[in-house]
Amino acid sequence: MHDIITEIWQTARRNKLRTTLTGFAVAWGIFMIIVLLGAGNGLINATMKMNGDFLTNSMEVDGGWTSMPYKGLKEGRDIQLNVKDLEATRTEFTENIDEVGANYFTSGTASYGENYMNIRIAGVHPIHTKIVKEHMLCGRFINDIDLKDRRKVIVLGDNQAKELEPKDYKTLLGKYIKVGDISFKVVGIYKSRGEGNGRAYSSYTAIKSIYGADTPSLGSIEFTFKGLTSEDANEAFEKDYRRRLNGMHQIHPEDDRGIWIWNNYAQSQQMEKGIDIIHTFLWVIGLFTLLSGIVGVSNIMLITVKERTHEFGIRKAIGAKPWSILRLIIVESVIITTLFGYVGMLCGVFANEYMDATLGHEVTDLGVEKLTLFVNPTVGLDVCIEATLVMVIAGTIAGLIPAYKASRIRPIEALRAD
């Protein structure tokens, strides 16, 4: 084996360009499939992370504008949800609806000492943190006692807390801040999703009684549901629920704009389908890229055998057996594809790590909030090894076919070859 390796090394040195082109085809194919899959995984992981921040079996309901005339009423009416809608949601759909809450939004100027900022406050029920999963850094979220006693408590995002207390924002916990002329006790601080100010949370009953006592609008409704384990069942429930609320507001039964419904289950299903399509597409592109490397290796191996036909004839003329020629070409193919395949794998891994260190920590401003669009853009070591093995096996097969022909050629014909 030592003699074979030495001979292969000498052949590679005599044919540097050919060896370099073969190695580049192998390394490039593996490098590209690893980088493509890494970038795709970064997008998929970011999507899954965003999707994981919301409870799948939940819906949010709000009023919209009618798009169809009905019973003498024109389209374009502004629909506001009220207490009757909340009661209907709680009592008429108990088979599927589990917990129900409401949101009421207001805004104002928050101040603490000499620091102040514009702030948007959502009055919510305790269920909200189950639907929109806020990660608490310290303190707690709104609870049932806050709701029952109409407590003027507030949960701030860490970005808001840093604006109000730049030195040590966590010291705000247990302190009072003012929103306009009203004092709110800070009971918790959660991790903001982006770099914007986001929103603060307070008890629904306190916010509604202070800022919305004169309006029948209750804001929006949110609830969790159970038993809807298929898309068809989920869609059927949404239609029935929308039809019930449409009837309470004199909206056409087929009008889907009068009542706005955000169905997290449906959104999750669409995301999963999109992720599957992206994943399949990336694998197809990656495999075609790998195939191009295999074709390149095959072509170069064919040229290599043709160039060395005269050499093989001399070997056979002095007594070399067909197996020795076959083994020489196969070993050369395996060594070259393995060596350069490993180089391509390392370059692909380093490229993915670079993406993780750069794009993986960048946030993109989407208007409402800033999000990370790449999360862990890497691939597993098993995928890297499998891609390398595929190229090695393909390179071996590519060398086997011309090697077999070369080993079968008669010495006299080989010696006549140019």
244-263 residue pLDDT tens: 999 999 999 899 999 999 98
- φ and ψ of 89, to 5 deg: -65, -40
Q: Which of 57-71, 165-179, 189-203, 291-305 has the lowest mean pLDDT?
A: 291-305
Q: How many CB atoms lie within 10 A of CB 78?
A: 10
User: What Rg value do the Cα atoms of the chain yield, rounded?
Assistant: 34
pLDDT score of 237 more than 70: yes
Specify the pLDDT at position 367. Answer: 44
Quote the pTM value. Answer: 0.68
CA distance 247 to 70: 11
* The three-state (H, E, C) secondary structure of the chain, written as one string: CHHHHHHHHHHHHHCHHHHHHHHHHHHHHHHHHHHHHHHHHHHHHHHHHHHHCECCCEEEEEECECCCCECCECCCCECCCCHHHHHHHHHCCCCCEEEEEEEEEEEEEEEECCEEEEEEEEEECCCHHHHECCCEEEECCCCHHHHHHCCCEEEEEHHHHHHHCCCCHHHHCCCEEEECCEEEEEEEEECCCCCCCCCEEEEHHHHHHHHCCCCCCCCEEEEEECCCCCHHHHHHHHHHHHHHHHHHCCCCCCCCCCEEEEEHHHHHHHHHHHHHHHHHHHHHHHHHHHHHHHHHHHHHHHHHHHHCHHHHHHHHHCCCCHHHHHHHHHHHHHHHHHHHHHHHHHHHHHHHHHHHHCHHHCCEECCCCEECCCCCCCCCHHHHHHHHHHHHHHHHHHHHHHHHHHHHCCHHHHHHCC
Binned at pLDDT 50, 70 and 90, residue 14 comes out as low
Tens digits of residue pLDDT in 43-64: 777 776 666 667 888 999 999 9
Tens digits of residue pLDDT in 332-373: 777 777 888 888 888 888 888 888 777 766 655 544 455 566
* The three-state (H, E, C) secondary structure of 130-189, written as one string: HHECCCEEEECCCCHHHHHHCCCEEEEEHHHHHHHCCCCHHHHCCCEEEECCEEEEEEEE
